[in-house]
Amino acid sequence: MIHARFRAAVGILACLVAVSRAAAGEDYDRYYKVLMDNQPAGWMRLQRVSDGDTVTTTREMRFELARGEVKSTANMKTRFVETPAGKPVSMRSEVAMGANPVVVEYTFGPADVLVINNPEGSKKETRAPLPAGEWLTPSAAAQFVRKRLAGGAKEISYRTIDPLSGLGVETITLSAITRDRLQVGDRALEGYRMKSASSGSPGVVGEDFVDLEGSLVSQTAGMGGLVVTTILAGPEVVDQKVEAPELMVSTFVRPDRPIMDARRVSKATFVLDYSTKDAPTVPETGSQTTTAADGQRLTVLVDASMPFEAPAKDWDNQAYRLPSALLTSEDPKVIELARRAVREIPEDQVHARAEAIRGAVHRHIRKKDLSIGFASAADTVASGQGDCTEHAVLLAAALRAAGIPSRVAGGLIYADQFAGSRDIFGYHMWAQALIQTDAGLRWVDLDATLDPPGYDATHLALVTSAMSDDLAARELLGIAAAMGRLSISVVEVEHRR
């Protein structure tokens, strides 16, 4: 099962630090302690270095989480280079979660952006459009915020981009700004208290305190029952002992009644109750359709025997066909895995080819465990190790390598027994293949973690993602919206004969 809360923690940290501010016009080197659910989980370091021609802003984060008895470590590094006038030069992101880092570099040109995936390895180069509209680089944004605070603004809004989110422009909103004082250790700091939010991470709102220069002092935010706190500290936090909060078993959802013989369920109806009036959107996709009872509850029908019609526009969406930093469909070993799987199946039998690839991925990942946080398809095909995340990513990449459009679905799956718990829904990930059938265009659900038939109607999709470099993090963050607030009622279940 995917450690979706692990990914949620990464996403929350990414969006929080995207709205963090540092002193404008001055170089700095600041350390922060990171707590999750009030337990020390890691640290963050923010730096700004100017050399006359450029200003470089770097960010480094490291934290640990536990999935049951298994501990995982996440490392994230970003770098943004700009001119003193705020013109972007380049940026880089590096994310490693128990596997080799996923690295993406961006170089800004006059007409477009050169994007390099895995620059120290296979080095895949593409060109992307410049971010649309006006937006601010990190140092320029810091100057803008500082001036607005000094001018007595009660709300500040600006557009920016963050290397962890690729080239997508996000709107940062700082609201309810008031002068205040905060005690940090033995120091009483004057500054501003405010709320912070990013359009790229709906539902995540930070409670911030910044000093009089606009530099971040502390920030607390929660999503899906996970509370993340970042507070100013010293270099000693790099060596501090952390508790590795357990963030898997605690997210299991126990339905109102058990489901017998779950892997043979062909059709099922569930009611999802989000306990509040702002239930997130649940996709109608693949084998799933939804009906909103009210703003709090959703009725979900899953029919594993008959996928629903897909939008025609999905067929032309290149995001479902092209490689990305995680879905490395151009990797020679991924291509070979797909080629071997379909070598005896005619090209016009697309569904059979997709199923053959699903089976090949299931067999290829021999060591099925939770020790890997989120590996790329290239890493997984090389290691033969991982949980449902690695199965889904490798399957989606292998499908693309075989010319079949694909994406991943994230949500929940029923398990009668897992990690010491019984009769629960746990967070999960699988793949979907876009197939032109006699009945029309369909997203077909394929789960490589399971033995044949590899998919059943106890899968509940909460998000889908093409896993593109600029959208994957925020799309998967949507899973966290269910955590800590979702209950599931089993209305009706049918089994295969």
The per-residue pLDDT for 225 is 67
- At residue 52, the pLDDT reads 86
pTM of the model: 0.81
pLDDT of residue 425: 94
**Residue-level pLDDT at 468:** 87
pLDDT attached to residue 419: 75
CATH of the structural domain 252-495, one choice from 3.40.50.720, 3.40.640.10, 3.10.620.30, 3.30.1490.20: 3.10.620.30
pLDDT at position 4 is: 47
Beta bridge partners of 421: 418
Q: What is the pLDDT of residues 198-248, one digit of tens each?
A: 887 777 788 999 999 899 999 998 766 678 899 999 999 999 888 767 667
Q: Return the domain boundaries, the chain.
A: 4-239, 252-495
Residues lower than pLDDT 50 in the chain? 1-5
pLDDT tens per residue across span 425-457: 998 999 999 999 888 999 999 999 998 888 999
